Amino acid sequence: MNSTTAQYLEGAVHHHHPLSPRGVSERLFTFWFNSFVYNQIWEDPRVDLKALALTPESRMLTISSGGCNVLNYLIHKPEHIQAVDLNRSHLCVLKLKLAAIEYLPNYDDFFLFFGCADDELNRYNYFTYLAEHLDENTRAFWEKGSLVRLLFFGPRIKYFTKNFYDYAKMGYFIRFLHTIARVCKWDPSRLLSASSRAEQEEIFEQNIAPFFDNWFVRATGNMPVMLYSLGIPPQQFSAMETETEGGLVAMYRERVKRLACDFPISENYFGWQAFGRSYDRAARCAMPEYLKEENFQTLKDNLHRVSVKNTTLIEYMRSQPDDSLDRFVFLDSQDWMRPEQIAEMWTEIARVGRPGSRIVFRTAATASPVETALPPALKAKFDYKEALSKALLQEDRSAIYGGFHLYVMEG
């Protein structure tokens, strides 16, 4: 267990006595989450960018997670992007992507590494072009590990020779769901060949919807521990439970149906990852913008605009001067926080944020926790763009969140 990550996780997640039922759940989650969880990010950057309205003067603070969105933002060349994460494993993914853009010989090698992610040449390219440019901790993450890991699984860099997107906790969880579907003779990957939204709905009803009536899924779907691999902590699970009338399994079905049916599958790379565990390598349309050839040189020319740091959002902001940032991306981190922690963080936003700063985040449930967590004087400094937030949520191709929220700091 990484001690730095464990310390940050304890501060973020542990809110109850360790021997209470909630306290036990919180500690099980931190044990599970203190590892490699996300092989890609599950927030739609297209929606983020509409809300953020980046300019060449934008100075961003964002959670890194798998690093995809950091690179998607970079295409638009803001002045600076500071990526932070309390999980060092995710920063190792971002650092590898940054090194790959800078040092791999060409775009084709980069796409082979992160677009296909299943070729032996990736391991050769790692040791030939990338390893020497990584810091010691990042190299250790990809090349080393416990004796059990090395004996039975090998170093993590081998993931890129066997489909990187089948690994990390998220990848294992999706593979597990595919195994259940295969045993029951359903084939969710059929969705990827659909030629229309009507065909997508037909395939959903035949090959995906029955999954939610499976006895095992219905028996375990309401257990918090089942969602730890999705990075959903106990308090986020509780928020979802509170807002769900028909049961959590019904909510999962509704959100998966949105993912499967509400967007053309030919361009929805979240759907490809959920139902096919890959990107669309043939047409190269259903994949993140950072993996598209037309954006590769832009990324290469602007890598100097990105900084990476293993810390929390609050700790980073405390280290910054007044009026130094104007774009904030918090993913779903506030679902993890107590109201007083949210108020503390937004106090720092009010200090370091420039007038007109834009703050975006998501929630598992529909309501924004900021509305009830901030004292009136602090809340008055921010304008909640509620109507626009609801409209943008409907455009989010990942479809897994209950709420998308945009706030603008008053001048």
The beta strands (E) that lie in 260-324 are given as 306-310
pTM here? Answer: 0.89
Strands 306-310 and 403-409: unpaired
**pLDDT score of 227:** 59
pLDDT of residue 149: 76
Q: Among 5-14, 58-67, 351-360, where is mean pLDDT lowest? A: 5-14
Average pLDDT score over the chain: 89
Amino acid letter, residue 399: A
Q: Which two tokens stand for residue 241?
A: 């439970």
- Stretch 386-408: mean pLDDT: 96
Q: What residue ranges do the domains of the chain occupy? A: 3-33, 168-276
Higher pLDDT, 38 or 387: 387
Residue 261: CB atoms within 10 A of its CB come to 22
48: alpha, beta or left, given left = phi > 0 and alpha = psi -120 to 50? alpha
Which region among 117-126, 298-307, 332-341 has the lowest average model confidence (pLDDT)?
332-341
Give the 3-state secondary structure of residue 362.
strand
Mean pLDDT of 260-286: 96
Q: Is the pLDDT of residue 169 over 90?
A: no
7 pLDDT above the threshold of 70: no
What digits encode the pLDDT tens for the residues 107-141? 999 999 999 999 999 999 999 999 999 999 999 99
